[in-house]
Structure 1
Amino acid sequence: MSTAQRPILFVSLPESGLLNPMLVLARELAQRGTADLWFATDEPRRTDVQRLAGRTPVEFASLGEVFSELSAVSWDDRVYREVTQPSRFKAHRAVIRQSYRPDLQAEKYRRLESAVEKIGPALMVIESMSSFAVDLALTKNIPFVLSVPFLPSNVLTSHNPFGTSYTPKSFPVPHSGLPFPMNFRQRLGNHLFKLRTLALFLNPSMGKVLSEDARIRKELGLPAPSPMTRIDRAEMILCNSVPELDYPFEVPEKMKLVGAVMPPLPEGPAGAADGGLGTWLDARSSVVYMGFGTITRLTRHQVGALVEVARRLDGTHDILWKLPEEQQHLLPARESLPGNLRIESWVPSQLDVLAHPAVKVFFTHGGGNGFHEGVYFGKPLVVRPLWVDCFDQAVRGQDFGISLTLDRPQTIDPDDVVDKLTRVLGDPSFRRRAEKLGELQRAAGGRAAAADLILDLPALR
């Protein structure tokens, strides 16, 4: 049995793509009997944390209610349109403007500070987007591990053309969706992306936010912000990827690439308890699984286009579509839906679906978790990039021969979708490459390797 001398405190924002790998890792430690485990996140995730109990419990530390301004799931339609617009830089800029809220970050900092004073952690495991938690760990001199559910270059590449970066200067900047190596025009676009990001923070309206941030930091006694401080000061960086899924560069020693962090499978119920989904999959030979994450909001036109895609594939492939209940009113009349289409508002486990041998391709938005999960199970992808990092995963998947990307992801042209799905389904090289990368992910060790690395840190000896 592994025991820590003092508590381990996990900290994450509540979004599923950020939180889920952290929950898996905390549960792994609980199953091993690691003592004094705590998990701090927003109040609506209390039940998810309480379910983690294994040989030892995982205690919940509430960071209060979700701030809608910081949660992409609750952004209004105007903001959603801005952060998912076709221009990659403008979408990147919109995300920064929406989420850079020093006042709200400070509130989460104060709530976490209260929890830390009570818990006295020996180590914090911090999801990489939880900047307030990094600030607290630095201020209180608490050793911390950074958890990264993205490609390794996502956190190692500077957006500032003059800033420190762990990747080469010619490396594609995160959220640009650019390949590597690049032609002259792409290199120019990459440099301009960095310059425009720098200019964004020189804008007078952003200057007011920066002044507010400086005032709050002085009040709380926080260090000046620096993009690479979280990397430089971390005891270790756990990245849920493998080198072969990113463009080549020298990864720092402190970054440990453990592949996708998966729970034991099957994860969901079987038989009648899963609504008959497992039986339905067992009876099919070729299924396209469509799942676009928790943030995607489809329009009536886009929903209709995807129904048309299913209709055109009827007779050759079946379609399983995870479509949230609140978007199902956009569907045409049920009696007009093609017979090969099964729509679920919720599936007991997306991982169980992707693991099923009948699923031949994953039609996804290309987020960090979905991208790595699909490849983990050896499934080739068709990607409809939604925003920011989705474009980065999409271009790598296409360059590595495991996926194709829609030409017009905003409109969803049925001709385009059917073409991409047919090509991926018909060319066995996509599956072979995906299966090879899946083998590399599984060999990296996932949750078991991540847990071993954490328990071996000096802070817990």
Structure 2
Amino acid sequence: MGSTRRPVLFVSYAESGLLNPLLVLVEELSRRGVPDLWFAADEKARPLVEAAGVGSPVSFASLGDTVPTMSAVTWDDATYREVTQRSRFRAHRAVVKHSFVPRARVEKYRRLEAVAEEVEPALMVVESMCQFGYELAITKGIPYVLGVPFVPSNVLTSHVPFAKSYTPKGFPVPHSGLPGRMSFPQRVANQLFRLRTLGMFLTSSLRAVAQEDDRVRTELGIVPEARQMMARIDHAEHVLCYSVPELDYPFPLPEKVRLVGAMVPPLPQAPDDGGLAEWLDARRSVVYMGFGTITRLTREQVAALVEVARRLSDRHAVLWKLPKEQQGLLPAPETLPANLRIEGWVPSQLDVLAHPNVGVFFTHAGGNGFHEGLYFGKPLVVRPLWVDCEDQAVRGRDFGVSLTLDRSETIDPDVVFDTLSRVLDDGAFRERAEHFGSLLRAAGGRGAAADLLLGLPALAHN
């Protein structure tokens, strides 16, 4: 008679854009009373994970403190400027240079290995950027599901030529920001992006890092199958993508890729919001500005956005989620326009986006924000931050739900005001956003994702 224990072990980095969808999913399983739920992440995620145990408990397994080289939130200002520079390829190259640090994941792998030995999971649910998570699952032969907060082609398209790819030849390379239908110069640029990425790894510096990566994998006992370019996809039971096919350029999706739409918890997520809902109720039209946890604005950029809010004041209010550490860049309080409300932290961005008086979401177009805004039928104005943001931005533009601002050091109030006004005044943007919202909601979200997990043979009882 076999054991009836079927532990499920979630693994993620602690950055909110990667962590939050898995928190929604583990909370859904907890709400259904699924036993033996575990969540491994950096220590700072502990309170969020423990709060997800709304039904059956969710046990937190600490992977220690955050390693600075593995978290964009902790990169210094010089690195931040390098990874967010205007050149898409140079920004892509900088991200690779600063995040490809093989030794940085050794301790995480060892800690996760110890957790897996204790928990003996029947299934792992691994965030797609968490390399040590899927390497361990493949090495130990543990069935796993991969969670993807981007459009599906982001993880199904190779960055280099001649490598395995699940998308057709000539498909836009991730992080290139190129459209599905390309002009001849764009097709050349797309191929050059691949070749230049390959060329990066032929330089002496990155060859040395790749050799160190091989030594680390050998030291950790990682099996050869986990080292393949598409290993995280090839060996997964399911690839859960929080999108819908219509928000990516068309290509045949592998059967294991399941598009479940945005991962949204039951709302309101934060009923005690300090009066924010009442403030939104009292405004006829609200522009919501939120640029994620990584964006760092300059004093000049902050002043430009305050000026944009001032110019909108005759018709629209502005809610701005501006981190407290950046609020010192604001002009004197008495000079701020009356229509502007600034919050260091919004208790629930989802509650804000769900509010009927919010007319547009001014965003950096990270994977979660892009899909969440559309889930609630909100058109977008996008100022891309980096890498995947460029890809979501070009799709939003092509599918008629957003307009994109140039990512530069200077924010021009005239351009931003005109762009916001165009999206607010042209009902076609709202209609297209509502169309995609209906598709995202119909995909099933957390419920569909939970059903897929629970239907896997690894969680079936004897």
Structure 2 length-normalised TM: 0.97
Q: Distance in 2 between matches of 1:401 and 1:409?
A: 23
Map 1:123-272 → 2, pairs under 5 A: 123-224=123-224, 225-269=227-271
Per-residue CA shift, 1:14-73, capped at 9, x if unaligned? 100000000000000011010100000000111111111132100001100000111100
Please tell me whether the aligned partners of residues 366 and 383 of structure 1 are also in contact (alpha carbons under 8 angstroms). Answer: yes
* Cα deviation, residue 408, structure 1: 4.6
**Structure 1 unmatched runs, 5+:** none
Q: Distance in 2 between matches of 1:233 and 1:455?
A: 18
* Cα deviation, residue 407, structure 1: 3.0
Per-residue CA shift, 1:335-386, capped at 9, x if unaligned? 1111111111111110000000010000000100000000000000000000
Q: Distance in 1 between matches of 2:407 and 2:258?
A: 36
Counterpart position of 1:449: 448
> What is the letter of the counterpart of residue 233 of structure 1?
H
Counterpart position of 1:375: 374
Counterpart position of 1:434: 433
Please tell me whether the aligned partners of residues 385 and 409 of structure 1 are also in contact (alpha carbons under 8 angstroms). Answer: no
Q: Distance in 2 between matches of 1:107 and 1:358?
A: 47
Count residues in correspondence.
Answer: 456
Q: Distance in 2 between matches of 1:415 and 1:17?
A: 30
Counterpart position of 2:329: 330
Please tell me whether the aligned partners of residues 267 and 351 of structure 1 are also in contact (alpha carbons under 8 angstroms). Answer: yes
Counterpart position of 1:410: 409
Map 1:231-380 → 2, pairs under 5 A: 231-269=233-271, 273-380=272-379
Q: Distance in 2 between matches of 1:388 and 1:267?
A: 29
Please tell me whether the aligned partners of residues 385 and 407 of structure 2 are also in contact (alpha carbons under 8 angstroms). Answer: no
Q: Distance in 2 between matches of 1:135 and 1:407?
A: 37
Q: Distance in 1 between matches of 2:123 and 2:101?
A: 27
Per-residue CA shift, 1:192-238, capped at 9, x if unaligned? 00001001111101111111111111122213422211111101110
Matched position secondary structure for 1:386: coil
**Structure 2 unmatched runs, 5+:** none
Please tell me whether the aligned partners of residues 85 and 91 of structure 1 are also in contact (alpha carbons under 8 angstroms). Answer: yes
Matched position secondary structure for 1:14: coil
Q: CA RMSD in A?
A: 1.0
% same residue: 68
Q: Distance in 2 between matches of 1:101 and 1:42?
A: 17
Please tell me whether the aligned partners of residues 151 and 239 of structure 1 are also in contact (alpha carbons under 8 angstroms). Answer: yes
> What is the letter of the counterpart of residue 265 of structure 1?
L
Please tell me whether the aligned partners of residues 39 and 59 of structure 1 are also in contact (alpha carbons under 8 angstroms). Answer: yes
> What is the letter of the counterpart of residue 243 of structure 1?
P
> What is the letter of the counterpart of residue 250 of structure 1?
P
* Cα deviation, residue 5, structure 1: 3.4
Counterpart position of 2:85: 85
Q: Distance in 2 between matches of 1:25 and 1:55?
A: 13
- Seen in structure 2, the aligned counterparts of structure 1 residues 314 and 234 have a Cα distance that, compared at 3 Å, is same
> What is the letter of the counterpart of residue 310 of structure 2?
R
Counterpart position of 1:107: 107
Q: Distance in 1 between matches of 2:112 and 2:52?
A: 20
Q: Distance in 2 between matches of 1:54 and 1:291?
A: 28
Q: Does 1:29 align with 2:29?
A: yes
